[in-house]
Amino acid sequence: MNEAVLETIGLTRSFRQGDMTIQVLRGIDLRVAAGEIVGLLGPSGSGKSTLLQAAGLLEGGFGGSMRLIGREASRLDAAGRTQLRRDALGFVYQFHHLLPDFNASENVVLPQLIQGATRRTAADRATSLLGALGLGARLTHRPSQLSGGEQQRVAVARALANRPALVLADEPTGNLDEVTADLVFAEFLRLVREEGSAALVATHNERLAAKMDRVVRLHEGQLQ
Ligand code: ADP
Ligand code: MG
């Protein structure tokens, strides 16, 4: 069996609202192996985004145990979470969240500079990733000068820029029309596979789910 890039045991997450506690994740046991692409399916409100946010270490407030690239995440402080997030993870969201004042190449270069890459290495990698996604002629376009499908492709390149062990994608093509969504999704899967990253991809689209290595189903905060 391949080593795990993500392993949760009894992962829980609840939110307080006034004096009520809403239990959203109710003990998730999930393992994603290196290089594996796993679909996270479930109806709206089942907890997909909450699970990805917990795995993404965006906040510390989860219960149970979670290991990312072999490191236990549950006891890390904010700085430790930031470090592990940078070492292990890439993110693609439903909306691209690109920096509007930077062009496509710069949006892929910046996270690499934060990780200590030289400008030259970072720019070469941005050119290569964007070229692999058919954006070779769009390197100096800003997000507002790109179509929705092109914006999501740049977001995919940015997520892969630092060679993450695991890409977390939350409805990555959910904002695109069906034809564009299928195209961008196919390119996303191809590039993730080429790069050897693993991915955990939330979607409620069964057609897209069928293209992944494996699917897990979330229902009211539990895997079925
Ligand atoms: P999905 O992504 O599957 O649609 P979410 O993870 O966004 O589901 O939400 C799951 C449940 O958790 C929903 O009932 C939602 O209202 C609740 N929830 C999510 N985030 C919060 C929050 N910050 N505070 C309170 N409830 C939340
Ligand atoms: Mg969601």
Summarize pLDDT for 39-83 with one digit per residue, the tens: 999 999 999 999 999 999 987 789 999 999 999 998 899 999 999
What is the Cα–Cα distance from 57 to 221, expressed in whole angstroms? 18
Instruction: Report whether pLDDT(150) > 70.
Output: yes
% the chain with pLDDT above 70 = 100
Strand partners, 32: 6
Q: Which ligand is nearest to the CA of 51?
A: 1
Nearest protein Cα to ligand 1, atom 5: 47
- Judge contact between 168 and 56, C-beta under 8 A: yes
Name every residue whose Cβ is closer than 8 Å to that of residue 62 and which is 6 or more positions away in sequence.
11, 12, 13, 25, 54, 74
Q: Which ligand is nearest to the CA of 53?
A: 1
What is the Cα–Cα distance from 66 to 98, expressed in whole angstroms? 29
Mean pLDDT of the region 158-172: 97
What is the Cα–Cα distance from 194 to 197, expressed in whole angstroms? 8
pTM of the complete model: 0.96
Tens-digit pLDDT profile for residues 79-134: 999 999 999 999 999 888 999 999 999 999 999 999 999 999 999 999 999 999 99
Q: How far is the CA of 44 from the centre of ligand 1 (A)?
A: 9
Split at pLDDT 50, 70, 90, the class of 35 is very high
Split at pLDDT 50, 70, 90, the class of 1 is low
Domains parsed from the chain with CATH numbers:
37-60+87-219 (3.40.50.300)
* Helix, strand or coil, per DSSP, at residue 223: strand
Strand partners, 166: 89, 198
Split at pLDDT 50, 70, 90, the class of 29 is very high
Q: Is 102 exposed, middle or buried (0-12, 13-18, 19+ CB in 10 A)?
A: middle
Q: Which of the two residues, 102 and 1, has the higher pLDDT score?
A: 102
pLDDT for 149: 96
Pocket of ligand 1 (CB under 6 A): 15, 17, 22, 24, 42, 44-50
Nearest protein Cα to ligand 1, atom 14: 45
Instruction: Report whether pLDDT(2) > 80.
Output: no
One-letter amino acid at 107 equals N
pLDDT for 198: 98
